[in-house]
Amino acid sequence: MFVAMLFAISSVAVAQFGMYYWRAVLASVASQPVSESVLAAISAENRSLRAADFVQFAGIHALTPNLTPRGGGLGLVRFYYGLTRALNMMVGVRVPAVAQWIEREGTICARYAAVQIDQRLQANMELAAALRSC
């Protein structure tokens, strides 16, 4: 019994560490600058990003080709964004503090998607330049 309880507690601790690490990576990537061309794609060059911009960025991300072998998908971020939207519908309407937190998290998701688009476009430009120089 003790071994099972120890295993369960350890599993929860590892899962919690994994979630915190993933959230830190998400915030770190989202803190990088976004180019004006990516912001102009959704007409956001004169305003700050909002959580609702994630949907537009996810659509643009799906249209941008990924010519490099590394990752950069939005799978987990899309899931996290959907989770925060569901939480907003259930709790955010009644608790303004939760609604503000959900908006901040959605904004982080939107910034992450914008940075991913920017990085894809930059990598594609570099690859095209390398191919032209051959």
- At 69-122, the pLDDT tens digits run 776 688 899 999 999 999 999 998 899 999 999 999 999 999 999 999 999 999
Interval 16-32 mean pLDDT: 95
Q: Is the pTM of the predicted complex or chain greater than 0.85?
A: yes
Predicted pLDDT of residue 92 = 81
Q: Which domain holds residue 67?
A: 2-133
Instruction: Give backbone dihedrals phi and psi of 39, rounded to 5 degrees, phi first.
Output: -65, -35
Predicted pLDDT of residue 71 = 66
Number of domains in the chain: 1
In degrees, rounded to 5, the angle at the alpha carbon of residue 83 between the alpha carbons of residues 75 and 29 is 50
* pLDDT over 80 (residue 67): no
